[in-house]
């Protein structure tokens, strides 16, 4: 049976988003279809009664007091989408767009937006046939959700805008035609329902979370290999120490470090003359653990968000009410993403300090910059420069977006979340840290090669072999950029994390 993600508006998992990004098919559940049909009847009844309802029979934003004549209410939906498609900047990646399509379809499938099932069917068809709207990355305030990015997505639903199909950038209508998907003429309520929501920041946030969780696991492995390369001690990871400061992430990290280092002949356990290691080695459970805890919090926020109704107004068929509120506001995501991004940046900052410790002969006792002929060769000197540049850039990016606001729509939308900013910079921070951890892996493996006496631990041996399968030992100076790219690709795709997990589960 072909794997498929079934949308019901209630039970989508973050891992499902990852599967759909990779190409898994999607379908709408029968229960969701029935709920959507029930809420659509409420909207149709409102239309018959000509009751004033925001964005159905009125304008939007500060124009909410402007009544729309009956003959114009369909044109209103088309106009809302066109006028809100005001994004700028480069287009986001296919992975982000697929996540947006999925998450918007799931939010509408909850049955509280009052749209026809045909609208979700169209989004699902676009996913399954790989029609990916061109969505500029800039323009969202996270206010009434992600209006501009979602409007660019909605344009293609209408047969307008632009989309990628089979590797080609096309007019939206042409992409839909080639994919065999009829564009949809939007009915009342459907234009606003497509663009009111947090699916841009949620898509970016989900990508950030899934990759960040893998990254922290790899950072554990890199740190453990560095400890062995520097002949450190595993005493700071003793269960007693974690028991008396029982943060869950700290304990989990210490457990993983002990498992990675199990069986090592390079760890000093008795008569340790340095007494204790530097913080960048000794405090890995505290720093990586804090990142795990913050990512756990973000996971909880995202899990709620991707199964939430974030439209406005919302339709409740059980009593026929249509209520305007603020479920589109991105503050829950913005604050959680800011906190998680700061925690991930700290993982990178600590990794860079371990890189310096490995390369500095006054701290490592190894050849300067891990070059076999220091002076003639510079070794990994510039790799630390790159790591330092990246962690310094992250210090700027870590300024929280969620404390900022700027009023829009004639001050009707007078406090905005900047959730899209939080998500975009969180991903940039993550990308930077992936590079830094990749550098540490390369440098730690080089240090092991230069002082190879003593068996590596059960897990770190696997880490070392994985690094060497990707990049050979540095015997003389060569262009490092390709080595860094190759290693970062392993880190980002989760190849190394999966290999380590298999070892730890044995």
Question: Which residues are marked as active site?
Answer: 54
Query: CA 17, CA 13: separation in Å to the nearest integer?
Result: 7
Among candidate residues 282, 237, 229, the one with its CA nearest the CA of residue 461: 229
Distances (CA, A) of 132 to 24, 262, 478: 15, 47, 40
**Residues facing 492 on adjacent strands:** none
**Beta strands, E only, 167-225:** 168-171
Burial readout 384-417 (b: 16 or more C-beta within 10 A, e: otherwise): bebbbebbeebeebbebbbeebeebeeeebeebb
Tokens 């015997």, located at residue: 475
Q: What is the dihedral of CA 394, 400, 402, 408, to 10 degrees?
A: -80
Among candidate residues 99, 351, 128, the one with its CA nearest the CA of residue 205: 99
Among candidate residues 107, 112, 138, the one with its CA nearest the CA of residue 123: 107
Query: CA 213, CA 302: separation in Å to the nearest integer?
Result: 14
Angle between helices 117-128 and 30-49 in degrees, nearest 10: 140
Query: CA 216, CA 500: separation in Å to the nearest integer?
Result: 12
**Residues facing 67 on adjacent strands:** 58
Helix spans in 63-197 (H): 73-84, 94-109, 117-128, 147-157, 172-179, 190-195
First to last CA, the chain: 30
């Amino acid at each position: 049976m072909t794997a498929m993600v079934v949308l019901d508006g209630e039970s989508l998992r973050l891992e499902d988003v990852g599967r759909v990004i990779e190409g898994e098919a999607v379908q709408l559940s029968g229960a969701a279809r029935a709920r959507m049909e029930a809420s659509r009847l409420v909207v149709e009844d409102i239309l018959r009664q000509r009751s004033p309802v925001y964005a159905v029979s009125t304008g939007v934003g500060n124009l909410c007091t402007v009544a729309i004549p009956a003959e114009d209410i369909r044109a209103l939906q088309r106009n809302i989408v066109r006028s809100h498609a005001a994004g700028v900047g480069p287009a986001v990646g296919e992975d982000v767009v697929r996540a947006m399509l999925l998450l918007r379809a799931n939010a509408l499938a909850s049955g509280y937006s009052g749209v026809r099932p045909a609208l979700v069917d169209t989004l699902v068809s676009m996913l399954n046939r790989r029609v990916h709207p061109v969505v500029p990355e800039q323009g969202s305030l996270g206010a009434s959700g992600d209006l501009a990015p979602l409007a660019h997505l909605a344009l293609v639903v209408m047969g307008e805008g632009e989309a990628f199909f089979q590797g080609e950038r096309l007019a939206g209508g042409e992409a839909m035609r080639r994919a065999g998907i009829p564009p949809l003429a939007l009915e009342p309520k459907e234009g606003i329902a497509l663009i009111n929501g947090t699916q841009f920041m949620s898509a970016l946030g989900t990508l950030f979370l899934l990759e960040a969780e893998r990254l922290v696991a790899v950072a554990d492995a890199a740190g453990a290999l560095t400890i062995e390369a520097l002949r450190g001690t595993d005493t700071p990871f003793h269960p007693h120490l974690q028991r008396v400061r029982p943060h869950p992430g700290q304990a989990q990290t210490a457990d993983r470090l002990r498992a990675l280092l199990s069986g090592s002949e390079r760890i000093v356990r008795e008569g340790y003359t340095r007494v204790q290691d530097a913080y960048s080695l000794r405090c890995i459970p505290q720093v990586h653990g804090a990142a795990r805890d913050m990512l756990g919090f973000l996971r909880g926020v995202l899990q709620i968000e991707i199964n939430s109704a974030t439209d406005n107004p919302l339709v409740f068929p059980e009593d026929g009410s249509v209520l305007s509120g603020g479920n589109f506001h991105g503050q829950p995501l913005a604050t959680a993403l800011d906190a998680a991004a700061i925690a991930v940046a700290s993982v990178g900052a600590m990794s860079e300090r371990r890189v310096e410790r490995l390369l500095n002969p006054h701290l490592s006792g190894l050849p300067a910059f891990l070059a076999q002929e220091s002076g003639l060769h510079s070794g990994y000197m510039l790799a630390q420069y790159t790591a330092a540049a990246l962690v310094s850039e992250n210090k700027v990016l870590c300024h929280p977006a969620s404390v900022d606001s700027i009023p829009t729509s004639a001050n009707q939308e007078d406090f905005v979340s900047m959730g899209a900013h939080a998500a975009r910079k969180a991903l940039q921070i993550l990308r930077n840290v992936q590079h830094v951890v990749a550098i540490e892996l390369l440098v730690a493996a080089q240090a092991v090669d230069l002082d190879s006496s003593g068996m590596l631990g059960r897990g770190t041996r696997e880490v070392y072999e994985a690094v060497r399968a990707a990049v050979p030992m540095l015997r003389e100076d060569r262009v490092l950029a390709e080595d860094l790219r190759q290693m970062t690709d392993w880190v980002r795709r989760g190849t190394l994390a999966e290999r380590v997990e298999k070892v730890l589960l044995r």
